[in-house]
């Protein structure tokens, strides 16, 4: 997710997006333990997106 996209979203939309990404990360961990996931680089991109969103939410308050 690009910074431009994050800047356009409202606080509620950011929180919804954050919850969705966290659920995706949770599900990916299970897939990783079962050996069903091939592209492990998505972990770092999701974590980076979470950090960007949390930073933006903190600045909006």
Please say whether the beta carbons of 11 and 60 come within 8 A: yes
pLDDT, tens digit, 9 for 90 and up, residues 8-53: 999 999 999 999 999 999 999 999 999 888 888 999 999 999 999 9
2-28 as b/e: b if 16+ CB within 10 A: eeeebeebeeeebeebbeebeeeeeeb
pTM of the model: 0.85
Residues 6+ apart with CB under 8 A from 22: 50
Distance CA 54, CA 60 (A): 10
Give the pair of three-digit tokens for residue 26.
């949770």
Any idea which fold 3-60 has? Helix Hairpins (1.10.287)
């Amino acid at each position: 997710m690009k910074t431009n996209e994050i800047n356009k979203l409202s606080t509620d939309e950011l929180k919804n997006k954050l919850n969705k990404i966290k659920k995706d990360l949770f599900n990916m961990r299970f897939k990783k333990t079962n050996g069903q996931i091939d592209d492990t680089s998505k972990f770092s991109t999701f974590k980076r997106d979470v950090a960007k969103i949390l930073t933006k939410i903190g600045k909006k308050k």
